Every structure is written in C-alpha cells, then in structure tokens.
Amino acid sequence: MSEALDKRTSPAPRPRGKLNVPKVTLAHGGGGKAMRDLVDDVFVRAFDNPLLATLEDQARFRLADLSAQGDRLAMTTDSYVVDPLFFPGGDIGKLAVCGTVNDLAVGGAVPLYLSCSVIIEEGIEVETLRRIARSMAEAAAEANVMIVTGDTKVVHHGQCDKIFINTSGVGVIREGIDLGAGNARPGDIVLVNGVLGDHGATILKSRGDLALDAAIESDCAPLGDLISTLLAAAPGTRFIRDATRGGVASVLNEIAIASDTGIEIDETATPIREEVKGVCEILGLDPMYLANEGKIVCIVPEDQSANALAALRAHPYGREACAIGRVTSQRRGRVVMNTVLGGKRIVDMLVGEQLPRIC
C-alpha cells in the first residue's frame, strides 16, 4: 500500500519544454505547446517541487499535514505592479513572494504555500522573466515556502507594463495565537523592527525622474522567521502588521480606530535614515507615510516589551528595532506625535496616494 501511495504522490518525471526564442509572443499565452514551453522553461524550472511538478489545475495538500501545524488556516492574496521591475534591494519577483509571505506571518501564521499568476506583455525579453522567476525561487527558499501552482496570461504590447504578478498564500496559525488591531490596550508599547521608508524612497529614486544620488536600498525581506522569534519571546503580543502602502502612520491609525485607544509616538525615537529624510524634504513628502516591505509595527504589553525588543534585535531583520511610542487612553482614535521641537501634531491616516506603483 505504501509503495502504491508513493507512486501516486511522486509521478515519473516528464520531458520539459524549452524556449528557443528571445521574446514572449501572444502564442505563449495560447494554451498550446508554446505556452507549455514557457511555463516549463521559466517557471517550473525555477520553482521545481513535488506539488508543482504534476501541473494539475490545483495543488493538493494532505489535511493531516496542515492540521499537525496548527488549528486554523490563513489565506491571503496580493498583486504586484511595481515600477521599475528591478530596483536596489529587490525586484518585482522578490517583492511578490515577500509581500504575501509577510501578510500571512503578521497574522501569526506559518507561511507554507504560494501560488503565482503572471500577466505578461507581448515582447518582453524571456531572460527578464527568467531573472524574475529565479528571484522568486530564492525568496521562497529563504522564507521556507513552496510555489505550488499558478497561471500565465499574455496580452498585446501596450496593454500591460511588462509583467504584473499575483501571489496568493496559505499558512497555518498555531493554537493560542490571536493577533488583531482591536487588541491594543492602554500602556502597551509600539515597536518597529528598523528604519522606516526605505522601500518607498528607493522606488522613487529608481524611476530616474529626479537627480538623486542617495544610497538607499529597499528593505524587501521575508519576515516569517522574525515574527516567529518575536512571538516566542513575547507570547502576549497583541498585534503585528507590515507597514506597506500608507506606511507606519496608516497602520497606527488603524490600531487606534479598531481598539478605541490613542497612540502617542516620539519623533526622536522614530528611526528614519537621513537620506530618506532628505528625499522627503526635497519632495514635500512625510516619511511616516512611505511604504516599507520589510518592516513591521508591533503592539506588545509593557511587561513583555523588553523581551520582544531583545528578540527582534537578535534577528538579522530586526537589528535596528526600537520602541517608538505607546498606546494611551487619551485622544481615542487618534495618533499623536511628540515632535523634536517639543510640540505635538496629529498624524492622520493617509489621504490619496503619495507614490503610485510602489509594490
């Protein structure tokens, strides 16, 4: 019986197609041999794993394997349209994996599986696709997840900007973990795992519209291991969120509103690189609203905050972690910053869009 099961779950290797053209054509989205060759040569070759190898219309998991890791299933999805495709510190492929992994991890889930669907513009260089797929595979390996299913579509030239990627993710939440914005309580401490605004500033600089020579790189990173480390050190953690679009300011406002509390932060304690501050001053932007792709906002009970901070700082993605403020019972639903000048200012939710196509 076990031999029969092994044969059923481990199909014999099949011959894989190979591309012999330099650019993608509409035929590569047509469902025939050209499409199979593209999928095989670019994506299956990069993402290779037993669940993907069958190339069925769905990935199949043993429920027993999932339930052994937790008592709840977490699922998320996100689409990535970043411009430019490649930037210091990352690219659209790395971003697509890290962004979805992080959306699972901040809910307390252990990320396990991803899907990858791509919309490709006719005429894109095949080598560009290979580079993106390799980057996704490297990020998935670091995050300890598998890309197990996907889809490919090709559209006419001009109807898509090179490539758009959608990734969905599945993870398992361990029993006893309950993170949420409404959990914050007065006296809790607000932590971040490092400097803020690097990703948004990097994308702006990379577009080449301004003659900026600031040495900034995106903070794009998979944070599942960091978050597991944090939860082990501070099991009473109330809330975690990755501060992507809308930045830290928007996350803090969501917490204040959901928990009916106030949040007070200190400008002097908020870690922002001088280069990012300089870019923001030139363009009239507020770094508190700039996107991050490797930073989390954590709400931790005060009596566990020292352990939480030490755990974050001991991790490669949290070495510059710090406490930036606390939850209060005053000004409910509001975020207030104590400024370097000794005054106070309201930090509102972002209205509109500071910088489009950042992720």
Q: How far apart are the first and last CA of the chain?
A: 48
Q: What is the CA radius of gyration of the chain?
A: 22
Q: Given 3-state DSSP classes, what are the helix, strand and coil percentages for the chain, each rounded to the nearest 5?
A: 35, 25, 40
Q: Is the pLDDT of residue 4 over 70?
A: no
DSSP one-letter code for 201: H
The amino acid present at 236, given as its one-letter code, is G
- Helix 126-143 to helix 92-105 angle (10° resolution) is 30
Q: Is the pLDDT of residue 2 over 50?
A: no
Closest CA to 291 of 229, 222, 207, 353: 353
β-pairing verdict for 344-346 and 335-338: antiparallel
Closest CA to 93 of 197, 220, 213, 201: 220
Mean pLDDT on 215-220: 94
β-pairing verdict for 239-242 and 296-300: antiparallel
| Angle in degrees, CA 138, 287, 256, rounded to 5 | 95
Tokens 């971003």 appear where? 95
Write down all domains in the chain, each with its CATH number in brackets: 15-173 (3.30.1330.10), 181-346 (3.90.650.10)
What is the overall mean pLDDT for the chain?
Answer: 93
DSSP H/E element including 74: strand 72-80
Distances (CA, A) of 163 to 61, 121, 167, 242, 329: 29, 6, 13, 24, 47
| Angle in degrees, CA 202, 207, 213, rounded to 5 | 60
Do 210 and 302 form a contact (C-beta atoms < 8 A)? no
Omega prior to 84 cis, within 30 of 0 = yes
pLDDT above 70: percentage of residues in the chain? 95
The amino acid present at 62, given as its one-letter code, is R
Give pLDDT, residue 5.
Answer: 38
pLDDT above 90: percentage of residues in the chain? 85
Q: Is the pLDDT of residue 223 over 80?
A: yes
Sign of CA dihedral 248, 238, 333, 327: negative
Q: What is the C-alpha separation between 333 and 10, in angstroms, rounded?
A: 54
Closest CA to 138 of 219, 222, 199: 222
Q: Is the pLDDT of residue 312 over 50?
A: yes
